[in-house]
């Protein structure tokens, strides 16, 4: 096994230069994981025992001392003897040899069949793909052990033949793994880029595709070896093995026959099988964990990836994201039964957010703040725009109002009040879900960014519109349907009846967004939170949806919080604007103030980046490209 | 036919096989003709599904040409073999939209940038020297060579993708929505980089975008695509200031401007336009 | 524009008839491909068995028999016929339910199977039901509650993966039956015994099968549920004021069900093999001992019968799973 681990040790286990990102290889992480280390050690010991069996074993595997059967351990037979007087320790060692080698044969056969066919089927598709999928579906519907019985009946008790055929039977695992990995890679843009560079198919497969399947194959091989050992031992346990060869399964069979006389005979091979399979399973899990760790690194990176931060760093405007790692705050109390009264004179605001801080506790005990000291309010009939680039905390702010933050998020500071009472009281560290549950859908509603992924594909549009109305408004199904049809007509859907009966995959993205808007206004809310509601739409559809939002808002006199990165959208809809950067609110004002006379340098930079009205073919940023490049560098290579 | 243009796409038709047995093929491009002049930028603007990306991919040899011709320097490359493509990659390169999937996450930046060079048979040491040059050209530090893509932000990754496209000093770069996934301020800097590179190297761009503002900013000429056909093309100033085709007019007025009062005017103009063309375009 | 275009032209009244026609042809297609699979497997198994089996007649009549006796036995068994002809005649009689006779006991294979199927199937079905219920409960609880339940499921899934099912069986029989004598170590099932004898005999074997599969199943159901819980539409449903319970039971579980059913069907396929060993450990009169004895004797008609029977069970299970998944997913119905 240890040799097959080699590909996991990349030469790139390099450390970053001073003050930069430190990259650790998956192999290093594997060794750091106690489970991985134990599993690897057990496997190495097993392999060493098997390799040096002829040196370590005091007797031949089949040397039988008839006068000393079923003996207890003593100095000659350190684990005793079996019913034929054979030395258990020697048989265990030789058994390890045969068991491990035949398991490797099985994995090798499975890889030899599954990997190339999976690569070809995944990369080229077509007839080969269709045929091999058919073969795979047959192989996968065969119960392995039963087929091996037939093989045993046809070819006799050889463990090699059994494992060879089992390798064929289990090869679909590799095929499917490789095929789906290749299919997902085949359409990646970097493969297109390689094609444009003129790489041949084999070079692309070797350089770009194979590297993707390497790690999953190692995991799969650990599992396959374990299953092979289990199946092989099972067959031999049934007495279908080759009695002239010592394997753990044959020993198990022998032990079970004598279970009433000496149960130790059962113990040793069972222990060997259990340890080896256990180590293989643990190793597979540890490798998976080691690989997932690197994914996590990427996710965390992506979170504070905002290049917007460079602008700040370059201009020295506000603190960067890095400064937002505070020590863990004192635990705030959970929502108490009776929330305190809101500050007097603020009850009339529809929503009021005061000094809000949202953070994610990190494994090292610190809290990563994504929203910091944010305050604003929205009144009835007013549209507030929250503008910012990715990583500015604008969506996190919106979700804390809705109470739909991810589970690990904590309110680390501040309060939120809706219509004169707290949904997050000043001392709460979580959103008061009980209170929000009675508001969500009814008084506060939500329009998401991606229309298609926000409808459940298994239910019709109509069902998804009607159910909230029945639950929230308590009206009858018929009444709800009538209202839903009217809503669909209201949001400009040409054939409400058809859309009502359609499944989400049967309507276009623009229509789906209209359906979601209809859903958001269905229970006549006082506040709508729209998170980039037009970003996923084409510009002409965006214009129509903006028209629709404006019209509905003024007709129903709803308060709206519009989260967006687009100043055009802001100009089209908003009354007031807050600008966010790196979790902080940097500027607030009426839409005309912010767009015409921005005060904060960040707002100015953002507006300066707008292309509308700029002289074509001129530089947009004050600095020349290399200078701004240095800004990039400071941020990205932190 | 000979012309002074670098790239000449003539009545191009691209069809994909229909889904299902004996289904009619799906015609993505319905006879498209465009020209890209040396050292200039042709902006290709259209909405999702208009076929603009397919046109770019056809030029790159990534989409099947059903009818028509693609001429590069008066050579027909519509059905170029893989070997021809390898030679062509010295002249035609690409920058894709998504900087997160256009770089192999498992490869170091140095290897990514060296790939097009070594394919052309450059020695590793020559390639290494060129990679350093390229990083400098896109304003990335040279120690980026030993880093993985995930250590870079979106804008930086797009710089890396641009560096890869520049590696062989091509004459034409197909840019498929190269700034759409970027934040506003990052978009501005990357657009500056595109302009700077064109000024320095004289490369031509086929610049594909859904954003008319972006296309106007960077292009000498603009072509507007709608449902697999070019509805209007001409000098940037003319197409974006005084569009003739109703679809272009509609597109222009649909994009909101960052001022509430001007936007209100624009909104009104759009509504009037829609009222005038009572039957929506293409219905 | 694209907006107004509707991709379907039927009214909702004909929609439902269209739906059932589609479902019907979907089932027919799956049924047909199931039969093709069964035929393919029969042919492969048949040729594999008879291609390799050289001295069958010699084995049966014994070493002392004369070459003439061997030849006569070969004619009696039809072994002198070409392989294709033998397969054709096997297939035609198999189509009428006649799977041939055992070479050693002359008992009709179909009869031998049907007398043993009840024991095996009672065990497999009980174990599968228990696994299905327990794995679903544990998996959903682990996905929704996280915390200790989640960790317990994950750890026991690793332990469950690490120990082969038959080793669990051996441990159970050694501890609970032989050492503690709480259960009979060997089966008391015989024709005409009461339900209590069945329960007593099957309790440990079923327990062994369940212990082997439940944690792994729970873990995979857990990941299927978590994957659905992280979908965007779940957040939107929450924002619409739909309760957590309704989101979980109506939306999430429905979408996670196909993945869960596939996991369980794969477990069932594995169990059909595993049960052979379990029956051997507990000396149960099911398919297992028949399969083992016919294999070691080279009683090819019986081996063939066992293979065909198990593959047929698998195909039926897969068909049922496909149909349920198709019914759950509106997109599958169309394709």
For C165-219, write each residue's pLDDT tens digit: 888 888 888 888 777 777 777 766 666 677 777 787 888 899 999 998 898 899 9
Of A214-228, A327-341, C66-80, C103-117, which range is least confident? A327-341
DSSP bridge partners of A359: A369, A410
Which of B19, B150, B209 best probes binding to A when mutated, by most A CB atoms within 10 angstroms? Answer: B150
Nearest to B67 by CA among B36, B29, B35, B34: B29
User: For every residue of A481-512, which 3-state class applies, written as one string?
Assistant: HHHHHHHHHHCCCCCHHHHHHCCHHHCCHHHH
Residues A527-576: pLDDT tens digits? 999 999 998 888 988 999 999 999 999 999 999 999 999 999 999 999 99
Q: Do C170 and A234 touch (CB under 8 A)?
A: no
Chains touching C by CB (3 or more pairs below 8 Å): A, B
Instruction: Determine contact: C52 vs chain B, CB below 8 A.
Output: no
- Complete DSSP assignment for A363-419: TTS-EEEEEEEEEEEE-TT-EEEEE--TTSSHHHHHHHHHT---TT-EEEEEEEEET
- Whether C130 shows a pLDDT value over 90: the answer reads yes
- Quick check: C233 and A455 CB within 8 A? yes
Query: Alpha carbon of A594 to those of A558, A585, B187, B256, B275: distances in Å?
Result: 23, 13, 21, 16, 33
CB contacts of A404 in chain C (<8 Å) are 235, 238-239
- Coil, strand, or helix at residue B13? strand
For B20, the token pair is 């299902």
Q: Is residue A12 predicted with pLDDT exceeding 70?
A: no
- The CATH number of the domain covering residues in C117-285: 1.10.3720.10
Name beta bridge partners: B9: B34, B70
For residue A334, report the phi and psi dihedrals to the nearest 5 degrees: -70, 165
Do residue C273 and residue A437 have CB atoms under 8 angstroms apart? no
Residue B256 contacts A, CB cutoff 8 Å: yes
A595 plus A456 within the same structural domain: yes
Beta bridge partners of A325: A368
Whether residues A542 and B140 touch (CB distance < 8 A) is answered with no
Residue A357 sits in the same domain as residue A263: no
Q: Are A148 and A194 in contact (CB under 8 A)?
A: no
Can you give the pLDDT at residue C141?
93
Measured CA to CA, the distance from residue A202 to residue A208 in angstroms comes to: 10
Contact A444, A526 (CB under 8 A): yes
Which chain A residues touch B120 with a CB distance below 8 Å?
198
Q: Do A432 and A563 have their domain in common?
A: yes
Contact residues, A window 400-459, toward B, CB-based 8 Å cutoff: none
Q: What is the CATH number of the domain that holds A149?
A: 1.10.3720.10
The predicted-structure confidence for A290-333, as pLDDT tens digits, reads as follows 876 654 444 433 333 333 333 333 333 333 333 344 444 444 54
Q: In the sheet that A367-378 helps form, which strands lie side by side, from edge to edge?
A: A325-326, A367-378, A351-361, A410-418, A421-424
Here the ipTM equals 0.90
| Residue A62, token pair as written in the block | 């089949």
**How far, in whole angstroms, is CA A234 from its chain's centroid?**
36
- For A92, A261, A408, the CA distances from A266, given in Å and listed in that order, are 12, 11, 48
Residue A464 pLDDT > 80, yes or no?
Answer: yes
User: Are residue A255 and residue A133 in the same domain, yes or no?
Assistant: yes
Chain A partners of C233 at a C-beta cutoff of 8 Å? 453-456
Strand order in the sheet with A559-564: A444-447, A527-531, A559-564, A383-387, A576-581, A584-590
The span from the first CA to the last CA of chain B, in angstroms, equals 37
A590, pLDDT greater than 90: yes
Verify whether the Cβ–Cβ distance C280 to A237 is below 8 Å: yes
Q: What is the 3-state secondary structure (H, E, C) of A124-167?
A: HCHHHHHHHHHHHHHHHCCCHHHHHHHHHHHHCCCHHHHHHHHH
**What 8-state DSSP symbol labels residue B149?**
G
CB-based contact A149 C291, cutoff 8 Å:
yes
**Measured distance CA(B162)–CA(B140) in Å, rounded:** 11
Say if the Cβ atoms of A389 and B184 lie within 8 Å.
Answer: yes
CB B163 within 8 A of CB B137: yes
Residue B84 at interface with chain A, using a CB cutoff of 8 Å: no
Mutation target vs A (from B186, B225, B246; most A CBs, 10 A cutoff): B186
Domain boundary among A251, A277, A294: A294
pLDDT tens per residue across span A260-293: 777 778 888 888 998 999 899 889 888 888 876 6
Provide the greatest CA pair distance for chain B.
Answer: 64
Contacts of A366 (CB under 8 A, 6+ apart): A325, A326, A327, A328
Task: Say yes or no for a CB contact (<8 Å) between C295 and A137.
Answer: no
Please indicate, yes or no, if residue A318 is contained in any of the structural domains: no
In DSSP terms, A87 is beta-bridged to A81
CB-CB contact of A602 with A579 (8 Å): yes
| Length in residues, chain C | 335
Token couple for A115: 């990997």
Q: What is the mean pLDDT of residues A488-505?
A: 91
| For helices C165-172 and A210-237, angle between their N-to-C axes, nearest 10 degrees | 30
Beta-carbon separation of B251 and A539 below 8 A: yes
**How does pLDDT run across C15-41, given as a tens digit for each residue?**
556 667 777 888 888 889 889 989 999
Flag whether pLDDT at C10 surpasses 70. Answer: no
- Residues of chain B contacting residue A621, judged by C-beta atoms under 8 Å apart: 185, 188-189, 192
Q: Which residue of C has its CA nearest to A542?
A: C3
Rounded Cα distance, B142 and A304, in Å: 23
The verdict on A170 and A233 lying in the same domain is: yes
CATH number for position A432: 3.40.50.300
Interface contact flag, B49 C1, Cβ < 8 Å: no
Residue A201 belongs to some domain of the structure: yes
Buried b / exposed e along A427-454 (16+ C-beta atoms within 10 A): ebbebbeebbeebbbbbbbbbbbbbbbb
**CA distances from residue A616 to B189, B212, B240, B282 in whole angstroms, order as listed:** 14, 12, 11, 30
**In A, residues 168-207, which contact B (CB 8 Å cutoff)?**
188-190, 192-201, 203, 207
Best B183, B193, B200, B275 member to test A by mutation, with max A CBs in 10 Å, is: B183
How confident is the model over A355-413, as pLDDT tens digits? 999 999 888 888 899 999 999 999 999 999 999 988 899 999 999 999 999 888 999 99
- With b for 16 or more beta-carbon neighbours within 10 A and e for fewer, the A5-20 pattern comes to beebeeeeeeeeeeee
Specify which residues B8 forms β-bridges with.
Answer: B35, B71
Residue A17 has pLDDT above 70, yes or no: no
Lowest mean pLDDT across A189-203, A384-398, A614-628 = A614-628
Same domain flag for A353 and A429: yes
Are both A198 and A61 inside the same structural domain? Answer: yes
Pick the last residue of a domain from A258, A279, A294: A294
When pLDDT is cut at 50, 70 and 90, the band that residue A344 belongs to is: confident
Comparing A427 with B163, which gets the higher pLDDT?
A: B163
CB pairs under 8 A between B and C: 7
Spatial separation of the C-alpha atoms in residues C69 and B151, rounded to whole Å: 80
Spans of all domains in chain C: 2-113, 117-285
Q: Which two tokens stand for residue C78?
A: 């039809």
Q: Is the minimum CB–CB distance between A539 and chain B shorter than 8 Å?
A: yes
Sequence-distant (6+) residues with CB within 8 A of A319 are A312, A582
Instruction: Find, in chain B, the residue whose alpha carbon is nearest to that of C335.
Output: B20
- For tokens 């062994």, name the residue: C208
Q: Going residue by residue through chain B (283 aa), what tens digit of pLDDT does each one get?
A: 456 889 999 999 999 887 666 667 889 999 999 999 999 999 999 988 899 999 999 999 999 999 999 999 999 999 988 888 889 999 999 999 888 889 998 889 999 999 999 988 899 999 999 999 999 999 999 889 999 898 898 899 999 999 999 999 999 999 999 998 888 888 999 999 999 999 999 999 999 999 999 999 999 999 999 999 999 999 999 999 999 999 999 999 998 999 999 999 999 999 998 888 765 544 4
Query: Beta A351-361 vs A410-418: how paired, if at all?
Result: antiparallel
Tell me: pLDDT of C140 over 90: yes
What's the mean per-residue pLDDT of chain A?
82
DSSP reduced 3-state for C107:
coil
Q: How far is C191 from chain A (nearest CA, A)?
A: 25
Rounded Cα gap, residues A562 and A395, in angstroms: 10
Task: Considering only the beta carbons, identify the residue of B48, B104, B218 that sits closest to A190.
Answer: B104
Contacts of C208 (CB under 8 A, 6+ apart): C165, C166, C168, C169, C172, C278, C281
Q: Is B282 left (phi over 0), alpha (psi -120 to 50) or beta?
A: left
Q: Is pLDDT larger for residue C18 or for residue A231? A: A231
pLDDT of residue A264: 77
In this predicted structure, the answer to whether residue C329 has a pLDDT above a threshold of 90 is no
**Domain tally, chain A:** 2
pLDDT at res. A482: 95
Which chain C residues are Cβ-neighbours of A152 within 8 angstroms?
Answer: 295-296
B52 chain-A contacts, CB cut-off 8 A: none
Nearest to B217 among A196, A197, A616 (CB): A616
For the stretch B274-277, contacts whose Cβ atoms lie closer than 8 Å and that sit 24 or more positions apart, written own/partner, are B274/B250, B277/B246, B277/B250
Q: Is residue A602 part of a domain?
A: yes
Q: Strand order in B204-209's β-sheet?
A: B92-95, B172-176, B204-209, B41-45, B221-226, B229-235
Interface test with C, best of A139, A147, A149 (most C CBs within 10 A): A149
Token pair belonging to A237: 């346990």
- Per-residue pLDDT, averaged over C117-136, amounts to 93
For B102, the closest of A12, A190, A614 (CB atoms) is A190
The residue among A8, A47, A14 whose CA lies nearest residue A30 is: A8
Whether residue A307 is contained in a domain is answered as: no
Contact in structure between A524 and A556 (CB atoms under 8 Å): yes
Q: Quick one: which H or E segment has residue A517? A: helix A509-521
Q: What is the pLDDT of residues B196-231, one digit of tens each?
A: 999 999 999 999 999 999 999 999 999 999 999 999
| Rounded CA separation A118/C163 (Å) | 30
Does the beta carbon of A635 lie under 8 angstroms from any beta carbon of chain B?
A: yes
Helix, strand, coil % (nearest 5) of chain A? 55, 10, 30
Beta-carbon separation of C174 and A266 below 8 A: yes
Residue A243 belongs to some domain of the structure: yes
Look at residue B278 in the predicted model and tell me its pLDDT. Answer: 63
Cβ of residue A230 closer than 8 Å to a chain C Cβ: yes
Q: Residue C4 is nearest to which of B49, B281, B283, comparing CB atoms?
A: B283
Buried b / exposed e along C132-162 (16+ C-beta atoms within 10 A): bebbbebbbbbbbeeeebbeebbebbbbbbb
- Identify whether residues A400 and A287 lie together within a single domain: no
Chains that touch A (3 or more CB pairs under 8 A): B, C
- pLDDT (mean) for A190-210: 88
Sheet with B67-72, side-by-side order of all strands? B26-36, B7-16, B67-72, B75-76
Q: What does the DSSP 8-state code read for residue C200?
A: H
**Is A4's pLDDT higher than 50?**
no
Q: Does residue B36 belong to the interface with chain A, where contact is any CB pair within 8 Å?
A: no
A280 and A413 in a common domain: no
Asked if the C-beta of B120 comes within 8 angstroms of chain A's C-beta atoms, the answer is: yes
- Parent domain of A424: 349-608
CA of B128 to nearest chain A CA: how many angstroms apart?
Answer: 17
pLDDT computed for residue B145 by the predictor: 92
Contacts of B49 in chain C (CB under 8 A): 2
Contact B50, B39 (CB under 8 A): no
Residues of chain A neighbouring C269 (CB-CB closer than 8 A): 140-143
- Which pair of structure tokens corresponds to residue B9? 């796409």
User: Does A636 contact B at CB distance below 8 Å?
Assistant: yes
The answer to whether the CB of B12 falls within 8 A of the CB of B31 is yes
Chain B residues within an 8 Å CB radius of C4: 280, 283
Contacts of A571 in chain B (CB under 8 A): 256-260, 262-263
CA atoms within 13 A on the CB side of B147: 23
Question: Residue B226: closest CA among chain C residues belongs to which residue?
Answer: C1
CB atoms within 10 A of CB B74: 12
- Looking at residue B215, its pLDDT comes to 94
As a whole number of angstroms, the distance between CA A313 and CA A634 comes to: 8
Q: What is the pLDDT of residue A296?
A: 46
Q: Which residues on C lie below 8 Å from B282 (Cβ)?
A: 1
Q: What's the pLDDT at C191?
A: 66
Which of A192, A305, A540 lies nearest to residue B251, judging by beta carbons?
Answer: A540
Q: Chain B contacts of C2, Cβ < 8 Å?
A: 49
Q: C329 to chain B, minimum CA–CA distance in Å?
A: 20
Is pLDDT at A175 greater than 60 in this prediction? yes
């Amino acid at each position: 096994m240890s040799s097959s681990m080699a590909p996991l040790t990349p030469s790139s286990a390099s450390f970053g230069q001073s003050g930069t990102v430190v990259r650790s290889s998956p192999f290093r992480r594997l060794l750091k994981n106690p489970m991985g280390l134990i599993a690897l050690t057990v496997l190495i010991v097993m392999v060493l025992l098997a390799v040096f069996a002829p040196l370590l074993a005091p007797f031949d595997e089949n040397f039988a001392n008839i006068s000393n059967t079923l003996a207890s351990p003593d100095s000659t037979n350190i684990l005793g003897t079996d019913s034929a007087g054979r030395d258990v320790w020697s048989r265990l060692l030789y058994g390890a040899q045969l068991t491990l080698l035949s398991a490797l044969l099985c994995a090798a056969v499975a890889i030899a069949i599954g990997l190339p066919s999976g690569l070809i089927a995944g990369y080229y598709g077509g007839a080969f793909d269709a045929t091999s999928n058919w073969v795979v579906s047959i192989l996968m519907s065969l119960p392995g052990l039963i087929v091996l019985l037939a093989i045993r009946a046809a070819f006799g008790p050889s463990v090699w033949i059994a494992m060879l055929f089992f390798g064929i039977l289990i090869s679909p695992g590799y095929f499917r793994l490789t095929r789906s990995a290749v299919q997902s890679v085949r359409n990646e843009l970097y493969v297109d880029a390689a094609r444009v560079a003129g790489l041949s198919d084999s070079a692309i497969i070797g350089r770009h595709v194979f590297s993707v399947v390497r790690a999953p194959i190692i995991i799969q091989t650990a599992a396959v070896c374990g299953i092979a050992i289990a199946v092989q031992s099972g067959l031999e346990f049934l007495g279908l093995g080759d009695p002239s060869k010592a394997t753990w399964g044959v020993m198990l069979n022998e032990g079970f026959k004598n279970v009433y006389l000496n149960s130790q005979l059962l113990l040793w091979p069972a222990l060997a099988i259990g340890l080896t399979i256990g180590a293989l399973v643990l190793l597979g899990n540890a490798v998976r964990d080691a690989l997932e760790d690197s994914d996590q690194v990427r996710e965390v990176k992506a979170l504070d990836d905002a290049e917007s931060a460079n602008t700040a760093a370059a201009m020295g405007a506000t603190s960067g994201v890095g400064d937002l790692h505070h020590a863990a705050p004192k635990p705030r109390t959970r929502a108490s039964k009776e929330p305190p009264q809101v500050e007097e004179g603020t009850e009339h605001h529809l929503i009021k957010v005061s000094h809000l801080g949202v953070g994610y506790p990190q494994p090292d005990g610190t809290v990563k703040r994504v929203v910091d000291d944010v305050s604003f309010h929205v009144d009835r009939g007013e549209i507030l725009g929250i503008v910012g680039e990715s990583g500015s905390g604008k969506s996190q702010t919106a979700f804390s109002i809705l109470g739909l933050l991810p589970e690990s998020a904590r309110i680390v500071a501040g309060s939120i009040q809706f219509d004169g009472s707290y949904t997050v009281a000043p001392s709460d560290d979580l959103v008061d879900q009980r209170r929000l549950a009675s508001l969500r859908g009814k008084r506060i509603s939500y329009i998401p960014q991606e229309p298609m992924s926000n409808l459940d594909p298994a239910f019709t549009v109509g069902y998804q519109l009607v159910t909230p109305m029945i639950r929230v408004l308590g009206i009858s199904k018929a009444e709800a349907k009538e209202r839903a049809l009217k809503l669909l007509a209201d949001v400009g859907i040409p054939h409400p009846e058809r859309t009502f009966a359609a499944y989400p995959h049967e309507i276009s993205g623009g229509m789906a967004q209209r359906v979601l808007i209809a859903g958001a206004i269905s229970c006549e809310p006082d506040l709508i939170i729209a998170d980039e509601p037009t970003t996923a739409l084409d510009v002409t559809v965006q214009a129509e949806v903006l028209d629709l939002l404006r019209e509905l808002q003024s007709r129903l006199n709803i308060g709206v919080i519009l989260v967006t990165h687009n100043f055009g959208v802001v100009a089209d809809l908003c009354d007031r604007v807050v600008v966010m950067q790196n979790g902080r609110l940097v500027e607030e004002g009426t839409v005309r103030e912010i767009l015409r006379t921005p005060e904060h340098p960040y707002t100015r930079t953002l507006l300066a980046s707008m292309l509308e009205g700029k002289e074509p073919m001129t530089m947009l940023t004050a600095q020349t490209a290399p200078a701004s490049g240095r800004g990039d560098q400071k941020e990205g290579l932190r | 036919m000979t012309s002074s243009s670098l790239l000449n796409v003539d009545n191009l038709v691209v069809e994909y096989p229909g889904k299902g047995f004996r289904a009619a093929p799906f015609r993505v491009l319905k006879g498209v003709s465009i020209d890209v002049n040396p050292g200039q930028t042709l902006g290709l603007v259209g909405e999702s599904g208009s076929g603009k990306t397919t046109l770019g991919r056809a030029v790159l040899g990534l989409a099947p040409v059903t009818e028509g011709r693609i001429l590069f320097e008066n050579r027909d490359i519509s059905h170029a073999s893989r070997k021809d493509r390898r030679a062509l990659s010295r002249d035609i390169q690409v920058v894709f939209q998504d900087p997160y999937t256009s770089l192999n996450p498992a490869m170091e930046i140095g290897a990514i940038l060296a790939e097009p060079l070594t394919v052309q048979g450059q020695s590793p040491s020559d390639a290494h020297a060129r990679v350093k040059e390229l990083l400098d050209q896109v304003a990335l530090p040279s120690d980026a060579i030993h880093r993985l893509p995930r250590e870079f932000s979106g804008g930086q990754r797009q710089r890396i993708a641009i560096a890869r496209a520049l590696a062989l000093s091509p004459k034409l770069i197909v840019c498929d929505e190269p700034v759409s996934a970027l934040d506003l301020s990052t978009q501005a800097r990357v657009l500056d980089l595109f302009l700077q590179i064109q000024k320095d190297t004289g490369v031509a761009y086929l610049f594909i975008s859904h954003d008319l503002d972006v296309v106007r900013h960077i292009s000498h000429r603009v072509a507007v695509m709608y449902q697999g056909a070019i509805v209007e093309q001409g000098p940037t100033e003319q197409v974006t200031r005084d569009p003739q085709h109703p679809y272009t007019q509609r597109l222009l007025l649909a994009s909101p401007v960052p001022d509430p009062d001007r936007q209100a005017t624009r909104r009104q103009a759009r509504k009037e336009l829609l009222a005038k063309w009572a039957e929506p375009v293409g219905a | 524009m694209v907006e107004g275009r509707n991709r379907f032209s039927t009214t909702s009244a004909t929609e439902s008839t269209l739906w059932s026609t589609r479902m019907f042809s979907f089932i027919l297609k799956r049924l047909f491909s199931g039969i093709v699979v069964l035929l393919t497997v029969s042919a492969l198994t048949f040729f594999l068995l008879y291609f390799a089996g050289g001295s069958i007649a010699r084995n049966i009549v014994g070493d002392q028999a004369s070459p003439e006796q061997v030849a006569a036995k070969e004619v009696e068994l039809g072994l002198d016929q070409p392989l294709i002809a033998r397969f054709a005649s096997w297939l035609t009689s198999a189509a009428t339910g006649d799977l041939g006779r055992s070479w050693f006991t002359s008992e009709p294979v179909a009869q031998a199977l049907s007398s043993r199927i009840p024991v095996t199937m009672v065990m497999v079905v009980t174990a599968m039901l228990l696994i299905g219920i327990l794995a679903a409960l544990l998996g959903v609880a682990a996905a929704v509650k996280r915390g200790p339940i989640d960790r317990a499921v994950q750890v026991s899934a690793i332990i469950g993966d690490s120990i082969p099912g038959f080793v669990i069986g051996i441990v159970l029989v050694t501890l609970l039956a032989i050492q503690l004598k709480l259960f009979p170590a060997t089966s008391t099932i015989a024709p005409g015994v009461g339900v209590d004898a069945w329960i007593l005999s099957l309790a440990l074997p079923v327990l062994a099968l369940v212990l082997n599969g439940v944690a792994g199943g729970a873990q995979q159901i857990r990941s299927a549920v978590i994957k659905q819980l992280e979908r965007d539409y779940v957040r939107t449903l929450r924002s619409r004021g739909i309760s957590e319970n309704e989101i979980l039971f109506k939306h999430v579980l429905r979408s996670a069900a196909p993945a869960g059913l596939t996991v369980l069907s794969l477990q069932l396929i594995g169990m059909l093999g595993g049960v052979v060993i379990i029956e051997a450990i507990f000396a149960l009169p099911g398919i297992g001992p028949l399969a083992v004895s016919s294999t070691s004797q080279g009683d090819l008609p019986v081996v063939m019968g066992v293979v065909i029977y198990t593959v047929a069970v698998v195909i039926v299970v897969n068909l049922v799973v496909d149909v349920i998944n198709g019914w759950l997913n509106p997109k599958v119905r169309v394709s």
